[in-house]
Amino acid sequence: MFELCLQVAQESVEPLSDVLMEIGALSVSVEDADALTDQERALYGEPGMPTPLMGWTRSLVIALYADEQSAIDVGEWLLEQEDWAEHLSVSKVRPVPDQDWVRLTQSQFDPVQITPQFWIVPTWHDLPPEASQVLRLDPGLAFGTGTHPTTKMCLRWIADHPLKGQRVLDYGCGSGILAMGAALFGAKVVDAVDIDLAAVKSTLENARANHLDSLIQAGLPDAAVGLYDTVLANILASPLKVLAPLLAGHLKPGASLVLAGILERQAEELVQAYAPYCRLRVADSLEGWILMTAEN
């Protein structure tokens, strides 16, 4: 096992931790980057006092990976992302002693409720009694386990807008969770595409595990051909802006466009980027993230 150590400011601790978990970290912990120095300070809560902050002024976010190369690859990927490169530095990748990592990993992932009846449930958990619609999904290398606010909002939108008989595009499919959600809620065919071959493989494996593989086709972006009734894209604001003409170009007349991976402060940027093609609006919000939708 290996740890990727990332130094970030206090305000970046929570969003970075969410991203690391969604792209395959087995666990994430936070330490004071100034521990054992004169600048070290305690974070703790007491009755009647404000809730403790998520991190220190200079925090060390530590992500656990099964092998050294995975840790290195994630560190390099983060530094290539415009939204992260200026907010963090990679301190080091270091080996850690052996533990019962399977049990440790599984203990951190509980069933995720999307709606009262719709749940995402890891394979090692029993189904909640109220779950009548279920996707079985374990944490993996591809983005999308249902725990991140952006994924929850997309799945919530899908559950509230049945896609019976529709042709759906999931652009940037990651684990395939949105593609599977669309298939579960009635889509006739779903094209799931991603620039990462590992994500394509993950989508195909997850679709088979949920008996939805007959409805889902996965491939690289050039596999997205023609017009769709619904286009889903849960990525990040910067690539969503660049992709505006491409995504809008896949919309049938009257089709729905659903975008996520957007912070509240980025809403107007997206509205402007898509203005030549459609009128975006904020349809949902959760923990500082927003879901934006439009009809062609």
- Count other Cβ atoms within 10 Å, centred on residue 17: 22
**pLDDT tens-digit map of 114-131:** 999 999 988 888 888 998
Q: 175 near 202, Cβ under 8 Å?
A: yes
What is the band of 260 on the pLDDT scale with cuts at 50, 70, 90? Answer: very high
Q: Which residues make Cβ contacts (< 8 Å) with residue 7, sequence separation at least 6?
A: 33, 58, 59, 60, 61, 88, 89, 90, 91
Measured distance CA(37)–CA(24) in Å, rounded: 32
The four Cα atoms 189, 195, 196, 201 give a dihedral, to 10 degrees, of 20
Whether 251 contacts 278, CB under 8 Å: yes
270 has pLDDT over 90 = yes
pLDDT digits (tens, 9 = 90+) for 44-73: 333 333 334 444 567 888 999 888 999 998
Domains and CATH numbers, the chain: 2-104 (3.30.70), 109-295 (3.40.50.150)
Contacts of 159 (CB under 8 A, 6+ apart): 114, 115, 118, 133, 181, 185
> Under a CB-based contact definition with an 8 Å cutoff, are residues 54 and 9 in contact?
no
Directed axis angle between helix 177-184 and helix 197-209, to 10°?
A: 30
Quote the CA–CA distance of 248 and 296 in Å, as a whole number.
8
pLDDT value of residue 140: 58
pLDDT of residue 226: 96
CA distance 23 to 38: 35
What pTM did the predictor assign? 0.66
Vertex 200: Cα angle to 197 and 206 (nearest 5): 140
Q: Across residues 242-271, what is the average pLDDT?
A: 96
pLDDT digits (tens, 9 = 90+) for 9-26: 878 888 888 888 888 888
